[in-house]
Amino acid sequence: MSRQRYTEEFKIEAVKQVTERGHPVTEVAARLGVSGHSLY
């Protein structure tokens, strides 16, 4: 079973949505289709 790989840009943008824009981790994770645990 192979894991999903995300681009560096995807990761940076996901983190910015939480840290700079103040969106909840669970909301961002759901919108992007990743688990909250992965986003943490």
State the pTM of this model: 0.77
25/17 Cα distance (integer angstroms): 9
Q: Are 25 and 39 in contact (CB under 8 A)?
A: yes
Alpha helices of 1-40 — where are they, by DSSP H? 8-19, 25-32, 36-39
pLDDT of residue 3: 75
Does the pLDDT of residue 2 top 90, yes or no? no
pLDDT of 1 over the 90 cut = no
Q: Which residue pairs, CB below 8 angstroms and at least 24 apart, start in 11-14?
A: 14/39
Could you give the percent of the chain with pLDDT greater than 70?
Answer: 95
